C-alpha cells in the first residue's frame, strides 16, 4: 500500500491511498503542514547563572541526575508553559560544573497549543523566570530568530573572564559577594586580577588551563621554558595534572552574533 499527500487549491491536503488491488481512496486532511506550524517560533535566549550547584550548562541524562545541569532547569520551566511539543534547548557554550555565566545563550523551537500565536519575547522571559522560582538561573533577554538560526554554530565570539583574588590571607576574609566566585591566592601584593579571554571557540578546560599555567609561572612552580614546551606539544596530555585553575573563578560573560543572522523576514516579524 502507498500513501501520498496532494495539495488542493483550497489549501487542504488530500491523502491518496493505493492498496495492493489497485483500489484508490482519497480523503481530506483537515489542515496543511504549514497551518500546523504557523504558530511555531524559534527563540534565542540569553541567560545567566551561578554555577556552584549545577553540573555545567547542558542537560544531564535522567540516570545521572544527582546534580542537574542548567539546561535541565530551563527546559523544565519552559515545559510548564504547556507547549504543543517537548522543547529541547541547543546551548551555545558548554560551561563545566561550577563555572558561572553572566551571559550564555541557547535556541529552541516552541509551538503553542490551540493555534495560539507565539509568545512575545518579553512575556516569554517573564514566564520562564517565574517558573524557575528560586533557582540561581535567570533569562535576561529573548528574541525570535530565523528557523535556521543555530545558537552554537552562528556564534561569532565567546568571552570568558577569570577572576583571581590576590593577597587574601585566608578564604574567610573574602567578601561574601566574592566567595566561590573567584580563585583566592595568598602571599601576593596585588589585590585583584581579571583575565579576559575572547575567541570564536575554546577547547575543553582551555581557559582554566591557561590561567593555571600563568599563575604557576608567577609562583615559580612552572618555568617559562616548561610553559613553551607545553604550548609546543599541542597535546592536552602534556599539560601537568592539577595545574588547571578551579572552576569557580570562571565566568562566561558574552556570546556575540552577527546582526544579520538574527533578523527575521519582514513577513514573520509582522505576524
Spatial CB neighbours of 111, under 8 Å, sequence gap ≥ 6: 37, 39, 40, 41, 83, 84, 85
Cell 528557523 appears where? 147
Q: Which of 35, 76, 96, 180 is catalytic?
A: 96
96 noted as active-site residue: yes
Alpha helices in the chain, H assignment, sequence order: 33-37, 70-79, 121-132, 206-218, 224-233, 259-262, 266-270
Integer Cα distance of 185 and 101 in angstroms: 22
And the C-alpha cell for 179? 566567595
Q: What stretches of 118-214 adopt beta strand conformation (E)?
A: 137-145, 157-166, 183-185, 192-199
And the C-alpha cell for 270? 509582522
Contact, 44 vs 124, CB < 8 A? no
Cell 542537574 appears where? 68
Residues classed as catalytic: 96
Amino acid at each position: 500500500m502507498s500513501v501520498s499527500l496532494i495539495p488542493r487549491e483550497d489549501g487542504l491536503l488530500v491523502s491518496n491511498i493505493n492498496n495492493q488491488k489497485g483500489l484508490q481512496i482519497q480523503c481530506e486532511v483537515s489542515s496543511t503542514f504549514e497551518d500546523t506550524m504557523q504558530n511555531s517560533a524559534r527563540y534565542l535566549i540569553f541567560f545567566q547563572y551561578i554555577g556552584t550547584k549545577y553540573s555545567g550548562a547542558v542537560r544531564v541524562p535522567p540516570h545521572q541526575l544527582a546534580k542537574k545541569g542548567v539546561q535541565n532547569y530551563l527546559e523544565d520551566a519552559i515545559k510548564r508553559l504547556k507547549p504543543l511539543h517537548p522543547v529541547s534547548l541547543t546551548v551555545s557554550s558548554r560551561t563545566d560544573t561550577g563555572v558561572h555565566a553572566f551571559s550564555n545563550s541557547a535556541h529552541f523551537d516552541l509551538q503553542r497549543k490551540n493555534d495560539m500565536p507565539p509568545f512575545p519575547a518579553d512575556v516569554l522571559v517573564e514566564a520562564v523566570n517565574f517558573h524557575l522560582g528560586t533557582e540561581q538561573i535567570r533569562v535576561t533577554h529573548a528574541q525570535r530568530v530565523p528557523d535556521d538560526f543555530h545558537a552554537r554554530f552562528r556564534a561569532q565570539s565567546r568571552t570568558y573572564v577569570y577572576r583571581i583574588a590576590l593577597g587574601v590571607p585566608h578564604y574567610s576574609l573574602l567578601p561574601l559577594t566574592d566567595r566561590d566566585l573567584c580563585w583566592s591566592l595568598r602571599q601576593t601584593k596585588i589585590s585583584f586580577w581579571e583575565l579576559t579571554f575572547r575567541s570564536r571557540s575554546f577547547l575543553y578546560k582551555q581557559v582554566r588551563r591557561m590561567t593555571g599555567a600563568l599563575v604557576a609561572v608567577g609562583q615559580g612552580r612552572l618555568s617559562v621554558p616548561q610553559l613553551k614546551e607545553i604550548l609546543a606539544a599541542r597535546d592536552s596530555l602534556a599539560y601537568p595534572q592539577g595545574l588547571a585553575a578551579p572552576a569557580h573563578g570562571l565566568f562566561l560573560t558574552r556570546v556575540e552574533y552577527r546582526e544579520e543572522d538574527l533578523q527575521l523576514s519582514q513577513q514573520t516579524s509582522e505576524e
